[in-house]
């Protein structure tokens, strides 16, 4: 029996174990996927345990996608460029870090959102690990500009500094004030929420990451939170006439890419989507953004 897990804190929200276990069982792989809720002081010990031969690896979610990097032996160049890791693979006791959030976001934006980022003006809310992956996807997709706002100005500064040399996309960060947001969203074609605001089971579940009157009515609003399936941001965006996209497809696509890194088998996407949607049915709601 092999083991894979999700490292984060808290984890009551997560449905990763549901759809990953469904994929493992469908392919008849002798492995289990667990949730490893880990406090900050126990992170080093938890990561070190993945070196054991019966562990295939792990996913990493908030708040550890950036701080886990020094604990690993190797970092994939893409993950290194992003500055965040969401997937760890155990290769004979050596831990290798990858980022599948970027490809998961790009695939969801293209296939589910029908959106081509090339030449687009984008506003990004949140500069954490997920925000870094999303920004890299937009840079590689040749977006014209990405305006980033975060309550932690230094974190946003670091993102712009680290990723601003990756391509021709203009990256800028602004303070999260109402006036700044109003100016940023004027004329944008894509708004992406990478904050946890709106996540089920959080104290901010019923909040908005920005004033409702500033939600751009002519843009695609992509909230990477997946539970609830329709966050308050998405509901308000629909009321304003905007197109919307929730985070479930990004979650499953990034999870499928992780699955393939651990198992060297093609991920059964239909099985994973079916299990994820079932887990988020009204009678079985469990969580939010991984």
SS3 content of the chain, % helix, strand, coil (to 5): 40, 20, 40
Residue with tokens 């079916």, as numbered in its chain:
274
Contact 76, 97 (CB under 8 A): yes
Identify any residues that bridge with 32 across adjacent strands, giving them in sequence order. 3
Q: Which of 2, 65, 203, 278 is catalytic?
A: 65
Q: What letter would DSSP give residue 199?
A: -
Structural tokens at position 119 = 């030449």
Rounded CA gap, 190 and 167, in Å? 19
Residue 65 a catalytic site member: yes
Contact 135, 163 (CB under 8 A): yes
How many other CB atoms sit within 10 Å of the CB of residue 248? 22
Radius of gyration of the CA atoms of the chain, in A: 18
Structural tokens at position 162 = 């680290």
**Closest-CA residue to 47 (of 8, 102, 100):** 8
Rounded CA gap, 96 and 85, in Å? 10
Indicate which residues carry an active-site annotation. Answer: 65
């Amino acid at each position: 029996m092999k083991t894979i897990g999700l490292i984060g804190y808290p984890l009551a929200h997560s449905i990763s174990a549901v759809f990953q276990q469904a994929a493992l069982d469908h392919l008849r792989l002798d492995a289990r996927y667990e949730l490893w809720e880990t406090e900050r002081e126990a992170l080093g010990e938890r990561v070190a345990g993945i070196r054991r031969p019966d562990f295939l690896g792990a996913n990493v979610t908030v708040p550890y996608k950036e701080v886990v990097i020094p604990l690993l032996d190797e970092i994939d160049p893409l993950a290194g460029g992003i500055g965040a890791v969401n997937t760890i693979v155990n290769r004979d006791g050596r831990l290798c870090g990858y980022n599948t959030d970027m490809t998961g976001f790009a695939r969801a934006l293209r296939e589910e959102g029908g959106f081509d980022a090339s030449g687009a003006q984008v506003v990004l809310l949140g500069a954490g690990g997920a925000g870094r992956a999303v920004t890299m996807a937009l840079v590689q997709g040749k977006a014209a500009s990405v305006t980033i706002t975060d309550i932690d100005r230094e974190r946003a500064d670091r993102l712009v500094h680290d990723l601003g040399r990756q391509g021709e996309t203009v990256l800028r960060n602004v303070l999260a004030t109402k006036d700044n947001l109003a100016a940023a969203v004027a004329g944008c074609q894509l708004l992406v929420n990478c904050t946890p605001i709106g996540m089920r089971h959080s104290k901010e579940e019923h909040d908005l990451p920005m004033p409702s009157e500033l939600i751009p009515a002519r843009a695609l609003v992509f909230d990477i939170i997946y539970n609830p399936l329709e966050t308050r941001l998405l509901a308000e965006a629909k009321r304003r006439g905007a197109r919307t996209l929730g985070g479930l497809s990004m979650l499953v696509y990034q999870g499928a890419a992780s699955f393939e890194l651990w198992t060297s088998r093609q991920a059964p996407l239909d099985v994973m989507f079916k299990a994820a949607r079932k887990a988020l049915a009204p009678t079985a709601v469990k969580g939010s953004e991984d």
